[in-house]
């Protein structure tokens, strides 16, 4: 149980284009979803927290207009990287929680984004 999937697992896009990453909770309803960014040899950095039907809460320093997060249902959240640039290349990981306590998170396998 408590499986989270991400799609795509990897994506290459050209600079200036937008790319959407999906995060789905497969066997539970996720009241809260989280988006992280992971650089090589670095820790996971929380980008934003989203609750179903509400606007996402972004961490300091994360551009909300660049990283659009939508949590339209209890099983799906999307992260759209708009006008992507090479510096946006990274590993993006989502997680989901259904317990109301934020530390109980189930993580997706991640999406590798490369912007050329």
> 107 near 26, Cβ under 8 Å?
no
> 21 near 114, Cβ under 8 Å?
no
Question: Which pairing describes strands 111-115 and 10-13: parallel, antiparallel, or unpaired?
Answer: parallel
Distances in Å between the alpha carbon of 106 and those of 4, 12, 27? 7, 26, 11
Task: Return the structure tokens found at 96.
Answer: 């989901």
**Binder of another protein out of 17, 29, 42, 83 (CB under 8 A):** 42
- 41 touches another protein by CB under 8 A: yes
x-marked contacts with another protein along 3-32 as a string, rule CB under 8 A: -x----x-----------------------
**Which 55-74 residues touch another protein, going by CB under 8 A?**
none
**Which 77-106 residues touch another protein, going by CB under 8 A?**
93, 95, 101-103, 105-106
Contacting range for another protein; rule: CB under 8 A; set: 13-21, 40-48, 66-74, 76-84: 40-48
Q: Tell whether omega for the bond before 8 is within 30 degrees of 0, i.e. cis.
A: yes
Provide the binding-site residues for another protein, judged by CB under 8 A: 4, 9, 34, 41-44, 46, 49, 93, 95, 101-103, 105-110
């Amino acid at each position: 149980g408590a499986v989270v999937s991400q799609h795509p697992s990897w994506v290459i896009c050209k600079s200036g284009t937008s790319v959407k990453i999906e995060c789905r909770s497969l066997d539970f309803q996720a009241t809260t979803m989280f988006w992280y960014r992971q650089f090589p040899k670095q820790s996971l950095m929380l980008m934003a927290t989203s609750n179903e039907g509400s606007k996402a809460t972004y961490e300091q320093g994360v551009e909300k207009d660049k990283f659009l997060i939508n949590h339209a249902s209890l099983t799906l959240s999307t992260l759209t990287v708009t006008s992507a640039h090479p510096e946006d290349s990274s590993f993006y990981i989502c997680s989901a929680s259904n317990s109301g306590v934020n530390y109980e998170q189930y993580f997706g396998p991640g999406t590798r984004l490369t912007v050329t």
